[in-house]
Amino acid sequence: MGDSRDPDAIDQVPEVERARLATAWAAAHYFVAVGRQEWLFRTGLTAADVERQIMATRYLFITAWNPPPGDTSRPLNDAAQERLHARVQALGLSFHPALGCNSQGGMVEHGCLVLDATPEQADVLAREFGQGGTLFWQAGEPVRLRMMWPRPAQADGDPHTDWVG
């Protein structure tokens, strides 16, 4: 959900693009792998199936990928994701493999579902890995999109999107 190579590049994204990305990420489908099963979660809906499989107080979906139309290769994206995994583990947090894709099943980004990160940890990781947004929610509550920019005037006003910029 951003450019993991240059954390400062995320600040150069125009406001119109920030609004477009927020709309796209809010409409995307996200999956977490538990064993050989994948469980769906989406912005604005509770994730009861996920929460039954993986018990935690808080959930964070984050990726270190820089997807198309960027020019980052699969090996570079994988290496960035491995650095994210190591960083999450260094914080003493656990995670499960996860991914996000657009509502048609394309534009896949590999990520992880981190358990019990604080909002502050979530924001630090997002900024460190150059991510424009993450998903973050409390158990039993709807999944929220957490955008790392101030709310642009063009944003659609989705009630489950937080602009924390």
pLDDT in tens, 62-85: 999 986 556 788 899 999 999 999
The pLDDT score that the predictor gives to residue 4 is 43
d(CA 60, CA 115): 7
Q: How many CB atoms lie within 10 A of CB 44?
A: 14
Half-sphere exposure of 73 (CA within 13 A, CB side): 3
Element (H, E) at 90: helix 74-90
Q: What is the pTM of this model?
A: 0.92
Examine the pLDDT at 128 and tell me if it is beyond 80. yes
Residue 74 is predicted with a pLDDT of 86
Mean pLDDT rounded to a whole number for the chain: 91
What are the residues facing 95 on neighbouring strands?
114
d(CA 63, CA 129): 8
Asked if residue 108 has pLDDT above 60, the reply is: yes
Q: What is the amino acid identity at position 136?
A: F
According to the model, what pLDDT value does residue 103 have?
80
